[in-house]
């Protein structure tokens, strides 16, 4: 199963070249030389609203690009109310910049936790 982008063309460009150019510009403007963090809390609104602030957080990862092996993304639910942690059955997520493969082995390790549910 592949999850298609929900807001491409609305909160960010659906065109991959336009999106890549915008992201590169935001990251270039936010270059940061401090150490790479273990965790980031960053806004995820449309790029025109919070792109510069998100880039200031994510730019700190550029120097660690070759050493990052796993990203765990935790975000709020916008459409469905639930208790606990929701996980997707998708094996990949489509974005205008390409496919993001889900580490199914890692996901399967947390499915037995009482607060984790598929949504």
Distance between CA atoms of residues 45 and 29, nearest Å? 18
Q: Is the pLDDT of residue 113 over 90?
A: yes
Q: Is 90 exposed, middle or buried (0-12, 13-18, 19+ CB in 10 A)?
A: middle
pLDDT confidence of residue 65 = 86
- Which residues, in sequence order, are CB contacts of 60 under 8 Å at separation 6+? 32, 34, 35, 36, 37, 40
Alpha-carbon span 37 to 84, nearest angstrom: 26
Q: Domain with 100 in it: what CATH number?
A: 3.40.830.10
pLDDT in tens, 81-101: 888 999 989 999 999 999 999
Q: What is the pLDDT of residue 102?
A: 94
Model confidence over 33-53: pLDDT tens digits?
Answer: 677 888 999 988 888 899 999
Count each helix (H run) and each strand (E run) in the chain, helices first: 3, 5
- Domain containing 107: what range? 2-118
- Per DSSP, the residues of 17-64 read HHHHHHHHHHHHHT---SPPPS------S-HHHHHHHHHHHHGGGGGG
Contact, 3 vs 92, CB < 8 A? yes
Query: How many distinct structural domains can be found in the chain?
Result: 1
pLDDT of residue 90: 93
């Amino acid at each position: 199963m592949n999850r298609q982008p929900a807001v491409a063309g609305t909160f960010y460009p659906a065109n991959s070249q336009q999106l890549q150019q915008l992201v590169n510009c935001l990251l270039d403007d936010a270059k940061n030389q401090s150490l790479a963090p273990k965790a980031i809390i960053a806004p995820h609104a449309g790029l025109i609203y919070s792109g510069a602030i998100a880039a200031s957080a994510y730019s700190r990862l550029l120097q660690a690009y070759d050493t990052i092996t796993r990203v765990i993304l935790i975000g709020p639910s916008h459409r469905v109310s639930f208790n606990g942690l929701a996980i997707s059955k998708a094996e990949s997520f489509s974005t205008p910049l390409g496919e993001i493969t889900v580490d199914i082995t890692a996901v399967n390790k947390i499915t037995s936790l009482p607060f984790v549910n598929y949504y």
